[in-house]
A = this chain, B = another copy of it.
Amino acid sequence: MNPQQTIRLAVIDNDSGFVTVLAKRAEAAGWQLRQSSGAVPPRDLVAMKLNALLLDPVLLGDEGWEYLDRVAAMLPDLGLVVCSGRSTVAQRVRGLRLGVDDWINKPCHPEEAIARIEAVTRRRRQGRREFEAAPVAAGELEIRPDRFQAFVGDEALDLTRREFELLHLLAEERGQVLERETIYQRVWGYAMAHGDRSVDVFIRKLRQKLETRSPSWAYIHTHFGIGYRFDPEPAGIVKEELRPAPDAAPAAPSQVVHKTFTAR
């Protein structure tokens, strides 16, 4: 359901041409990319919370093997792909045995490098369960993906699967206005038919259940002509946004700006 989870990749290489093209591809795929043209201490790699690392061992000098060994040992969850110049079978075997996940030779098509990194990451992830099992807190709410349910205190909201997924999506994009088409696409998984009101209906159901368990908070805000925004606000804030905000230009002329009217 969430196949193309964004990948955090670091590239350690100084072949600027190759890296440039690679970066372009990675960016197009929505990956987060870090680059370096010199060895990065494993300690720093840890801090980057990477999913995958692509490196050319030529930059590592004599300590290449040792470095690979250390990285593989210190970051067992990291997808480790080596992209080297000429290499012998013995070298590749040694690397693979050391913990390298894949070893490519240059010249190498960036698309293939991307695909191999994807493959490595895919397999890595598969073993690791729950990538998004992290609970989300919002106002009095706690959204727990491990239970497919939201709670206020220890009382469940009694959400349906669809309801939960909608709420989860909104909460993950907290503060963002999401258009109906976007919401539908991401929750239902396919394009919304013209005139479909499903999203509205489910928003209503969510609001009802939220109102039941957490009456003093407003969570879902309607943006007329656009979509919905999730933002927990204690009641009492009747409204009155429209801050003159002398800075950024208002997006569209006479656009509805943060005018939040809640149900009821």
Residues of A within 8 A of B (CB): 76-77, 79, 89, 92-93, 96-97, 99-102, 109, 111-112, 115-116, 118-120, 122-129, 146-149, 156, 158-161, 175-177, 212, 223-226, 229, 241, 244, 263-264
Contacts and interface: CB of A to CB of B under 8 A. Distances in A.
Given A100-B119, A263-B156, A264-B158, A112 B93 contact: yes
A225 B122 CA distance: 26
B123 A212 contact: no
Given A111-B89, A263-B149, A226 B96 contact: no
Contacts of A229: 147
Contact of A124 (B123, B146, B156, B241): B123
Given A89-B111, A96-B118, A109-B89, A212 B244 contact: yes
A168 to B, nearest CB: 13
B115 A148 contact: no
Nearest to A120: B123
A239 to B, nearest CB: 10
Contact of A127 (B126, B158, B244, B263): B126
Contacts of A118: 96-97
Contacts of A147: 175-177, 229, 263
A130 to B, nearest CB: 8
